């Protein structure tokens, strides 16, 4: 839609009046992090009940030392759930992020598949690079930054990363050692990788022998509107003998309890042997009682999937409200575009270039906390100053309703100000 | 005691007959690892009961993300128990070994207190060194080996490491970056550091600015025969401004459940800020529900200490039986000496030089598993082939009785064979 300057001045006045109303309201709302709501946590309260037995079905006493790879029953449960082989899974502690960090630390310190440790490149004046589909997950980027790994942004399309670019980069440069992928309901776009994308990632020729994909399938079973099927990356990789290219991560943080769930890593068997060797120095094993709790609560993969339907039921009204508000408030004026995820935890909003930081500030000033602008890009720099990640899960519907009113208003106000060259 | 060759031949014959008896018995006993017995695990079964509330006293929902340093209530509980400041404690996951490994990885990758990362020394053709009081804990040595850190053995006396040697080494060599200490009921000797030792460790002049003591107080409250008090290492360090020299580790692995307890690191506040910064990239936080379980079960430091008395009651007959057997079987012949620990999990046995491996083999052949000889020394090399670590906790009293008969017999048999020059 096109406005005359006169119209814009008038709209700005109206918006400012509305904004003043929110200033007085003393709000304290948070759309910034993908935290499950209390009502979602309640779905798993059975995990807090008395443990049926401290013995696993295979007779392991979960209360004592041992079992580096995790309880066999727990590995089996997740193998069934994620269509993986039991032997390729190691159950870790409470956090898949921690397993990603540990895996990166291991590769930097000790290397993999006979290649030299990634940390060694520094001393040759070189830097290891990782491809980062953007926008993406801030905590992935933070790991790269911490380890001094140079991040190379790759555009994310509706089918996954722009593969022509990816294939060229990995083929030409042997210091491109890896890539982040959130293949289902990506954070923050909600993108689901197509079969073709998965096949190309698994089979592409890479200059680095130790090229590694960090396959963070955080939202593997976190469908809301419809079940999306993802090509099994190991099936694709096995066809070309590339199973060890993939480090697959998953956790129950958004299935059972965030921070008190169970995380896992899966990979080719050579990698699993390497990881196991390092882990045997790092720990005597992770918390098997919590693994057993999860096995006893869920029992079968189907039970986990049924449980996820309850989560979807809780999340759906929040996503629908958010999308409805965006549609109602921002479609006509055309001041923003947004993603329409089928699952996951986020909706990705695009303002006009140069407006996102202003929106953030305006919202902050009336007590609505948004994800920091730029967080969805490497080094915290959104080159367009346009992307805002909306996390609708944590607030109540009532709070979300107000927060979205504020957000839409702030988008309009920032855009009009920009159009009037006021900022 | 001195024997003639004739006497030795006669003794050997008798011992061989006894040994054959055990060969037929088809034993399967294990004295190798410091695992609590099932009866000890039962002491903490309340932790498996329904959680009272998922809210901490300060109102934190333990089921959701957040709280990197751990629940305030949990930090406070351990501060009281270990005479530390709450602010200097970070609660981690289920394993203090994991926290030691992570801390070593952090120092190797990123360095500390403005000094360069320890991994950098490799590229100058230098090696970082750690002092290792011997005999010591095999898993400490494994961490050094994994990170390519050169281990320098230091003799352990009844009061702790031989401080004249330690002081000389750390003063002269700036690549001596650290030291392992198990200051109470050390593994495997049961040595408790004297106040003087603690003071000297805390205040000694070190060539390396980033010299760091890994203070593994694994057996801080694990007294069996008598309570031994240890000089607070931070009190000693504060007097000379060296709080950041100390990384203090503790866990409830042998208080509640091994592998399902709670671990912590404590240090000077500068270090805590550094650790926190790295942790904020590594994880969103550790399992607060398990922290809350421990807080709700124990409530007070005194309750933990009372609980440890129940462990002592379980362990005391096993330690007494072990010591009694050694006394009865090996004192008169003088073929071995051993430690008399006041707590902890181990008794350290010394055979005549060159006999320990033979004892291990003889015991193994009749189904009694001992800790691998050499495991208590860096690189798995006992220069005297003499030290055997006895872990009496896991077997039942009845099993221990037989296992100790076998062990004592094997010591005698190996010694007599050695004296007769048969091996």
For A74, A215, A269, B308, the CA distances from A243, given in Å and listed in that order, are 22, 12, 8, 48
* Subunit contact A33:B65, Cβ cutoff 8 A: yes
Instruction: Say what the pLDDT of residue A2 is.
Output: 82
- Spell out which residues of chain A touch residue B286, defining contact as CB-CB under 8 Å: 93-95, 259
Fold of B53-298: 3.40.640
Residue B105 near chain A (CB below 8 Å): yes
Q: Which residues of chain A fall below pLDDT 50?
A: none
Residue A41 near chain B (CB below 8 Å): yes
> Quick one: CA torsion of B135, B139, B142, B143, rounded to 10 degrees?
-120
B401-413: pLDDT as tens digits: 999 999 999 999 9
- Residue B196's SS3 state is helix
How far apart CA A369 and CA B68 sit, in angstroms, is 20
Two structure tokens written together for A404: 């979205």
pLDDT band at B414 (very low <50, low <70, confident <90, very high): very high
Same fold yes or no, A5-41+305-419 and A54-299: no
Average pLDDT over all residues of chain B:
97
* Subunit contact B259:A64, Cβ cutoff 8 A: yes
Cβ-based neighbour number of residue A261 at 10 Å:
24
- CB contacts under 8 A, B 365-384 vs A, are none
How far apart CA B104 and CA B96 sit, in angstroms, is 12
- Spell out which residues of chain A touch residue B145, defining contact as CB-CB under 8 Å: 281
**Angle, nearest 10°, between helix axes B356-365 and B397-419?**
130
B288-315: average pLDDT: 98
Tell me whether the omega of the peptide bond preceding residue B23 falls within 30 degrees of 0, making it cis. no
How far apart CA B116 and CA A412 sit, in angstroms, is 49
Among the partner-chain residues A54, A64, A282, the one whose CB lies closest to the CB of B258 is: A64
- Residue A111's SS3 state is coil
> Quick one: CA torsion of A259, A264, A265, A269, rounded to 10 degrees?
160
Instruction: Say what the pLDDT of residue A8 is.
Output: 93
pLDDT band at B280 (very low <50, low <70, confident <90, very high): very high
Instruction: Say what the pLDDT of residue A423 is.
Output: 62
Sign of the dihedral defined by the CA atoms of residues B33, B37, B43, B45, in that order: positive
B66-101: pLDDT as tens digits: 999 999 999 999 999 999 999 999 999 999 999 999
Q: What is the CATH number of domain A54-299?
A: 3.40.640.10
How far apart CA A301 and CA A127 sit, in angstroms, is 42
Residue B68 near chain A (CB below 8 Å): no
Residue B203 near chain A (CB below 8 Å): no
The domains of chain B are located at 5-41+305-419, 53-298
User: Measured in whole angstroms, how far is the alpha carbon of residue B335 from the centre of its chain?
Assistant: 26
- B169 near B179, Cβ under 8 Å? no
- Spell out which residues of chain A touch residue B284, defining contact as CB-CB under 8 Å: 95, 97, 258-259
pLDDT for B423 beyond 70: no
DSSP output for B129-166: EEEEEES--HHHHHHHHHTTPEEEEEEEETTEE-HHHH
- Spell out which residues of chain A touch residue B50, defining contact as CB-CB under 8 Å: 48-50
Instruction: Say what the pLDDT of residue B421 is.
Output: 86
- Percent of chain B at pLDDT exceeding 90: 98
The residue whose two tokens read 């790994």 is A149
How far apart CA B35 and CA A158 sit, in angstroms, is 53
B247-266: pLDDT as tens digits: 999 999 999 999 999 999 99
Residue B143 near chain A (CB below 8 Å): yes
* Subunit contact B146:A93, Cβ cutoff 8 A: no
Residue A94 near chain B (CB below 8 Å): yes
> Quick one: CA torsion of B1, B5, B10, B13, rounded to 10 degrees?
100
Q: CB neighbours of A197 closer than 8 A, spacing ≥ 6?
A: A159, A160, A161, A163
Instruction: Say what the pLDDT of residue A281 is.
Output: 98
Helix (H) or strand (E) holding A134: strand A129-134
How far apart CA B331 and CA B20 sit, in angstroms, is 23
How far apart CA A80 and CA A221 sit, in angstroms, is 12
pLDDT band at B124 (very low <50, low <70, confident <90, very high): confident
B277-285: average pLDDT: 98
| CATH class held by domain B5-41+305-419 | alpha beta
Q: Give the ranges where B223-287 is alpha helix by DSSP (H).
A: 233-239, 269-282
- B278 near B114, Cβ under 8 Å? no
Residue A257 near chain B (CB below 8 Å): yes
- Spell out which residues of chain A touch residue B67, defining contact as CB-CB under 8 Å: 259
- B388 near B337, Cβ under 8 Å? no
Which of B69, B98, B262 is most worth mutating to test chain A (most A CB atoms within 10 A of its CB)? B98
Percent of residues in chain B assigned helix, strand, coil, to nearest 5: 45, 15, 40
Instruction: Say what the pLDDT of residue B134 is.
Output: 97
User: Complex ipTM, two decimals?
Assistant: 0.96
């Amino acid at each position: 839609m096109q406005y005359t300057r006169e119209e814009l001045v008038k709209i700005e006045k109206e918006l400012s009046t509305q904004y003043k109303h929110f200033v007085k309201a003393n709000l304290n709302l948070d759309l910034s992090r993908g935290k499950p709501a209390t009502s979602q946590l309640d779905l798993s309260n059975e995990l807090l009940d008395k443990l049926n037995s401290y013995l696993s079905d295979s007779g392991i006493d979960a209360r004592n030392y041992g079992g580096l790879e995790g309880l066999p029953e727990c590995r089996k449960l997740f193998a069934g759930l994620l269509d993986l082989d039991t032997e390729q899974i190691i159950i870790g502690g409470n956090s898949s992020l921690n397993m990603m960090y540990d895996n990166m630390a291991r590769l930097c310190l000790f290397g993999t598949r006979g290649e030299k440790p990634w940390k060694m490149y520094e001393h040759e004046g070189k830097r290891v690079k990782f491809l980062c589909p953007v926008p993406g997950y801030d905590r992935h980027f933070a790991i790269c930054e911490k380890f001094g790994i140079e991040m190379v942004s790759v555009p994310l399309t509706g089918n996954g990363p722009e593969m022509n670019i990816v294939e060229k980069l990995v083929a030409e440069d042997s210091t491109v050692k890896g890539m982040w992928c959130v293949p289902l309901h990506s954070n923050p776009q909600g993108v689901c990788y197509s079969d073709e994308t998965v096949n190309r990632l698994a089979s592409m020729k890479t200059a680095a022998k130790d090229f590694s994909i960090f396959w963070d399938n955080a939202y593997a079973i976190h469908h809301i509107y419809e079940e999306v099927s993802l090509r099994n990356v190991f099936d694709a990789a096995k066809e070309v003998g590339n199973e060890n290219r993939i480090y697959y991560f998953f956790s129950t943080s958004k299935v059972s309890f965030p921070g008190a769930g169970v995380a896992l890593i899966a990979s080719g068997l050579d990698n699993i042997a390497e990881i196991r060797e390092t882990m045997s120095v790092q720990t005597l094993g992770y918390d098997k009682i919590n693994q057993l709790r999860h096995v006893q609560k869920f029992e079968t993969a189907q039970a986990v999937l049924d449980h996820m339907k309850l989560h979807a039921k809780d999340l759906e009204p929040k996503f629908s409200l958010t999308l409805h508000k965006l549609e109602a408030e921002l479609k006509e004026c055309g001041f923003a575009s947004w993603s329409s995820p089928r699952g996951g935890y986020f909706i990705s909003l695009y303002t006009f270039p140069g407006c996102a930081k202003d929106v953030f500030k305006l919202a902050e000033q009336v007590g609505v906390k948004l994800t920091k602008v730029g967080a969805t890009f490497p080094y915290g720099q959104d080159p367009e100053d346009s992307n805002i990640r909306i996390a609708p899960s944590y607030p109540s519907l009532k709070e979300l309703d107000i927060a979205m009113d504020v957000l839409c208003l702030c988008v309009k106000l920032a855009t009009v100000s920009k159009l009037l060259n006021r900022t």
